[in-house]
Amino acid sequence: MSSTPTIPPVPASAQPGETPAGAQPPITRRVKQKLTSRGATIAAIIIATVWTIPTLGLLISSFRPEENIQRNGWWNVFGDRELTADNYVDVLVSGGSQSPNLGQYFVNSLAIVIPATIIPLVIAAMAAYMFAWGKFRGKDTMFVFIFALQIIPLQMALIPLLSLFVNLQIGDFQLLPSGSYAQLWIAHSIFALPLAIFLLHNFIAEIPGEVIEAARVDGAGHATIFWRIIIPLSVPALASYAIFQFLWVWNDLLVALVFSGGTPDVAPITQRLAELTGTRGGEWHRLTAGAFVSMIVPLLVFFGLQRYFVRGLLAGGLKG
Amino acid sequence: MEDLGNKFLQVVVALAIFAAIIGLIMLIVDRAPKSFRDKATVIGFLAPAAILLVVGMIWPAVQTSLLAFTDRDGNLNGIENFVWMFTEPTALITLRNTVLWVILVPLLASGIGLVYAVFIDKAKGERTLKALVFMPMAISMVGAGVIWRFVYAYKGPEQEQIGLLNQILVWFGGEPQQFLLDAPGNTFFMIAVMVWIQVGFAMVILSAAIKGIPMEIVEAARLDGASAWQQFRDITIPSIRGALVVVVTTITIITLKVFDIVRTMTAGNYDTSVIANEMYTQAFRANEPGRGAALALVLFLMVLPVVVYNARVLKQQRQIR
């Protein structure tokens, strides 16, 4: 098949008359092909534009003065050319009782997401290591069972888990008080485990057995092997899953609504934003800026770590 | 500032406690008497995950299944919650909406994603075109809800419109509409938001599958004079069927559990509720945990066959490769 001449793909912008050297298909077909590929590219650009305009409109609006946002649509910005950062100042730092105080909630999101990513990752890696390299009875059955736990939707666990957290007390001392991050960290960790164990197992099982065997011969215990060999070798898998879990927790609304109590001390920015759309749905200068404050972290991750991001997302399509 | 320090401290303390627990496990595992060491290792490495899963997921799921057969005071009431779900008019609308979502979103998102993936294949600026359509996958559904509420924003006909869709209507001589208030159209306008998000997912997977089609097959078809449409129908589609099934089933599962969009855009009012949203409303707002649990159970039963099918196709695909 290597002798088949390959027709180079015709770039949409190629000038008519420029004949690609080598292959010479009949003129009519070549023209037709060029037309269809040009038509396809134009159609693709139209779809991409339609897909981008809603976000662009919100971004532009977030920089327009309040009166302008309420007076006319964001497309008028090209006429009035007035831009300001006031909306961002208002939603982030202004301390008045009317302010959405998003700065506080942004900090909450960070405080929730960091432990809620690290904790399940370590616990899942430990379990995955045992499932891949440990020797004990019932190993395969248990692993299949944990894999199967992915079919349980979040919703099946919410009600009993909340009452469990409430009732978990020693004497009068509540172990995991509502209105603290602890409930969110633990809930997110639990829901992350089945998928994390499964994915990390697939990766850790591929590590060459000789590496581990050599360490054993040198007298290393499981703990040493795990921290000195398994974890460093698994960094690509850990990174992909960490990014996925980070975004999942950052963008979550349901777990936050159930477990955070909704106070400025704990609630994440998504919950605050959802609340604002309900109670002050007409204050577009705040909603537009607020939405972008909540989106900035995922967008940075997306544009900065796109390759890992895609990999993590594809792996995690079934979570929740 | 004091507040910030306090929050930072909470995170550090939590991570320190976690590190101490894990460190203790590792210490016990390595120092255990030789005869007992292997057993201690297995238990030590598996215990944290096992405890969390049993206490936080398996046991709650069993409890929810039982809770589905109780009333708001916790007394057994047989299948009353399910009778409510399948007879009460508002609950029926919730079911109908869920069916609409679950049919339309996977179909439209996969269809548009496929067409787009074919169109941009080997096109100039393919990476940029991909990133633009994939971007909605990165942001939260709450954020997407705000973005689209703004597109659908309504002002009276005597005022200038600030929402893009109403402005377009007005440009074409129409009357501005309350897109999110008028049933049953409002459900379709929210479905559009989910499609907007999921097309990126479909496109990325299908695009990868298209690039995996052997060049020889495509060349042979071209030399035989197959038109673009024939190539698409007879080569592209059959070659990527596995990926297509995975995309459709995965989006189906995600759509069945859709919550944030409905919550943010209408909170389930104006006849727009879906099962996942109604589950939350009944269990945590209306003080009807029995009904909430029944809805969760129905959701589980709807997701179950799709997940099993999806897992089987994925396994087959791995074997082929």
d(CA B155, CA B162): 7
pLDDT surpassing 70 at residue A305 = yes
Q: Judge: B42–A134 Cβ closer than 8 Å, yes or no.
A: yes
Residue B321 has pLDDT above 70, yes or no: no
Q: What is the pLDDT of residue A173?
A: 74
> Angle at CA A144, nearest 5°, toward A140 and A147?
140
pLDDT at A8: 36
Q: Distances in Å between the alpha carbon of A264 and those of A105, A107, A267?
A: 6, 10, 6
Task: Compute CA A227 distance to the chain's CA centroid, rounded to the nearest angstrom.
Answer: 27
Write down the pLDDT at residue A18.
39
Helix/strand/coil for B237: helix
C-alpha distances in angstroms, B266 versus A183, A292, A300, B149, B245? 28, 20, 29, 9, 32
Answer whether residue B188 shows pLDDT above 90: yes
Alpha-carbon gap, residue A25 to B243, rounded angstroms: 33
Smallest CA-to-CA distance from B142 within B197, B203, B199, B210 is with B197
- Provide, as residue numbers in chain B, all residues whose Cβ is less than 8 Å from the Cβ of A288: 146, 150
Token pair 């030789």 is found at: B34
pLDDT for res B250: 87
pLDDT at position B293 is: 94
Top pLDDT among A16 and A98 is at A98
Q: What is the pLDDT of residue A317?
A: 54
- Average pLDDT for chain A: 83
Chain B interface, mutation test: which of A108, A123, A142, A269, most B Cβ atoms within 10 Å? A123
Residues A122-145 have pLDDT tens digits of 999 999 999 999 889 989 899 989
Beta bridge partners of B76: B70
Pairing of strands A169-170, A173-174: antiparallel
**Residue A14: predicted pLDDT:** 36
Instruction: From chain B, pick out residues whose CB is under 8 angstroms from the CB of A291.
Output: 143, 146-147
- Residue B140 has a pLDDT of 93
**Which of A152, A244, A307 to probe by mutation at the B interface, max B CB count within 10 Å?**
A152
Minimum CA–CA partner of B314 in chain A: A315
pLDDT band with cut points at 50, 70 and 90 for residue A13 = very low
Chain B residues lying within 8 Å of A157, measured CB to CB: 56-57, 60-61, 64
Q: What are φ and ψ of residue A234, in 5° steps?
A: -95, 10
Number of A–B residue contacts, CB under 8 Å: 322
Q: How far apart are the C-alpha atoms of A252 and A249, rounded to whole Å?
A: 5
Cβ contacts of B4 on chain A, cutoff 8 Å? 107
Nearest beta carbon to residue A127 from set B37, B45, B201: B45
pLDDT value, residue B208: 87
Tell me what the mean pLDDT of segment A185-206 comes to: 92
Instruction: Tell me the pLDDT tens digit for each residue of A15-67.
Output: 333 344 444 455 555 554 555 678 888 899 999 999 999 999 999 999 999 88
Better-predicted residue by pLDDT, A90 or B187: B187
Which residue among A74, A157, A274 sits closest to B142, beta carbon to beta carbon? A274
Inter-chain CB proximity B279 and A186 less than 8 Å: no
pLDDT reported for residue B42:
92
CA dist., res. A189 & res. A304, Å (int): 25
Identify the three-state secondary structure at position B152: coil
Q: Is residue A251 over pLDDT 90?
A: yes
Closest CB to B204 among A130, A160, A310: A310
- What are the residue ranges of helices labelled H in chain A? 27-62, 66-71, 77-80, 86-92, 102-133, 139-148, 155-167, 181-204, 209-217, 222-225, 231-233, 235-251, 254-259, 269-279, 284-304, 306-315
Spatial separation of the C-alpha atoms in residues B313 and B317, rounded to whole Å: 6
CB contact under 8 A, A291 and B133: no
Is residue B290 scored above 80 in pLDDT? yes
Residue-wise pLDDT tens digits, A197-211:
988 998 898 889 898
Residues in Cβ contact with B48 at an 8 Å cutoff, skipping those fewer than 6 apart = A123, A126, A127, B21, B22, B25
From the list B38, B57, B219, the residue facing A4 with the nearest CB is: B219
Q: Would you say residue A162 has pLDDT above 50?
A: yes
Predicted pLDDT at B74: 81
Specify the pLDDT at position A319.
Answer: 58
Is residue A303 within 8 A of residue B138, CB to CB? The reply is no
Residue A148: the pLDDT is 85
**Among A276, A278, A257, A254, which residue's Cα sits nearest to residue A266?**
A257
Answer whether B222 sits within 8 Å of A257, measured CB to CB.
no
Q: Which residue has the higher pLDDT, B277 or A19?
A: B277
Residue-level pLDDT at A12: 36
A193: which chain B residues are within 8 Å (Cβ-Cβ)? 49, 52-53, 57
Confidence (pLDDT) at A19 = 40
User: What pLDDT, on a 0 to 100 scale, did the predictor assign at position B143?
Assistant: 95
Residue A4 confidence (pLDDT) above 50: no
Phi and psi, residue A268, nearest 5°: -80, 170
* B140/A294 Cβ within 8 A: yes
Over residues B6-37, the pLDDT tens digits come to 899 999 999 999 999 999 999 998 888 888 88
DSSP per residue, A217-255: HTT--HHHHIIIIIHHHTHHHHHHHHHHHHHHHHH--HH
State the CB neighbour count (10 A cutoff) for residue B235: 18
List the single residue in A with minimal CA-CA distance to B141: A251
Report chain A residues whose CB lies below 8 A from the CB of B14. 115, 181-182, 185
More confident residue, A313 or B308: B308
Nearest residue on chain A to B285, alpha-carbon basis: A258
B264 CB neighbours in chain A (<8 A) are: 253, 273-274, 277
Q: For residue A195, is pLDDT > 70?
A: yes
Residues from chain A that touch B138, judged by Cβ atoms under 8 A, are 247, 298-299, 301-302, 309
Residue B2's pLDDT band, with cuts at 50, 70 and 90, is low
Is the CB of A151 less than 8 angstroms away from the CB of B307?
Answer: yes
Position B272 pLDDT exceeds 60: yes
Query: Using a CB-CB distance cutoff of 8 angstroms, which residues of chain B are in contact with residue A318?
Result: 250, 253, 307, 310
In angstroms, the CA B314 to CA A240 distance is 19
Comparison of pLDDT for B125 and B99, the residue scoring more: B99
Instruction: Give the pLDDT of residue B20.
Output: 96
Q: In this complex, which of B140, B250, B267 lies closest to A278 when CB atoms are compared?
A: B267
Judge whether residue B253 has pLDDT over 50: yes
The H-or-E segment that residue A173 falls in is strand A173-174
Of A146, A164, A299, the CB nearest to B53: A146
In terms of Cα–Cα distance, which of B275, B139, B7, B180 is closest to A270? B139
- Residue A310: is its pLDDT beyond 80? no
* Selected residue of B39, B126, B132, B142 to mutate for chain A interface (largest A Cβ count, 10 A): B142
Can you give the pLDDT at residue A56? 94
Task: Give the distance between the most distant pair of CA atoms in chain B.
Answer: 85
H or E stretch at A119 = helix A102-133
d(CA A216, CA B41): 14
